[in-house]
Chain A
Amino acid sequence: MALTKADMAEMLFEELGLNKREAKELVEMFFAEIRAALSSGEQVKLSGFGNFDLRDKNQRPGRNPKTGEEIPISARRVVTFKPGQKLKTRVEAYAGSNE
């Protein structure tokens, strides 16, 4: 099952002894702070984990896949995640179900 904010708060409670309310608040604030930086146009670099980068995309032609109708995809700013070397190496080692 996927890791959630509740799981992360529980882990801070169990491993670091924060009380449950502090743990829950800190997890919320952690993601809110990253989101706020990205929302203000600032890249976020978390060494050992990865970088959240921002890319500005120009308008480009698109198509409604159902109707085939041509509609422009507007210019937009998007977040991309570039995993750090340490995370990449750790994930690569995962044997997985496809092997």
Chain B
Amino acid sequence: MTKSELIDALASKQTQLKYSDIELAVKTMLEHMANTLANGERIEIRGFGSFSLHYRPPRIGRNPKTGEQVSLPGKYVPHFKPGKELRERVNASMQNGKVSS
């Protein structure tokens, strides 16, 4: 499912809002979530999961082309931990066949 398919699904399930309102709302929600993480804050959605940042310490890397050593600074990466309800539902779906995209 892509973002536009998600917008379509939401639009078909609810009658009060115009398609363009839902489209803007979905983009705004994702933007708000990204901003939150970019500010170093967590996201906690009950029944779905939480997003936080994990720290990666500085390390010595290597340019794969030249073999030259480069020092890479520490950084943060986004991390998602599925909530209990999502974990259980997803796991239950394994009985119903293969993963599809």
Q: Min CB distance, B23 to chain A, in Å?
A: 11
The residues of B that contact A12 with a CB separation of less than 8 Å are: 25, 28-29
The residues of A that contact B79 with a CB separation of less than 8 Å are: 81
B residues 44-67 touching A (CB-CB < 8 Å): 44-51, 53, 55
Q: Assess the A2–B50 pair: CB atoms within 8 A.
A: yes
B residues 1-21 touching A (CB-CB < 8 Å): 1-3, 6, 9-10, 13-14, 16-17, 21
Interface size classification for chain B? 35 or more
Q: Assess the A16–B24 pair: CB atoms within 8 A.
A: yes
Contact of B96 among A16, A41, A44, A93 (CB under 8 A): A41
Interface size classification for chain A? 35 or more
Contact of B100 among A35, A43, A55, A98 (CB under 8 A): A43
The residues of B that contact A67 with a CB separation of less than 8 Å are: none
A89 to B96, CA, bound (A): 37
A49 to B55, CA, bound (A): 19
A78 to B93, CA, bound (A): 10
Q: Min CB distance, B28 to chain A, in Å?
A: 6
A73 at the interface (CB under 8 A from B): no
Q: Using CB atoms and an 8 Å cutoff, list the residues of chain B in contact with chain A.
A: 1-3, 6, 9-10, 13-14, 16-17, 21-22, 24-26, 28-30, 32-34, 36-51, 53, 55, 74-80, 82, 85-87, 89-94, 96-101
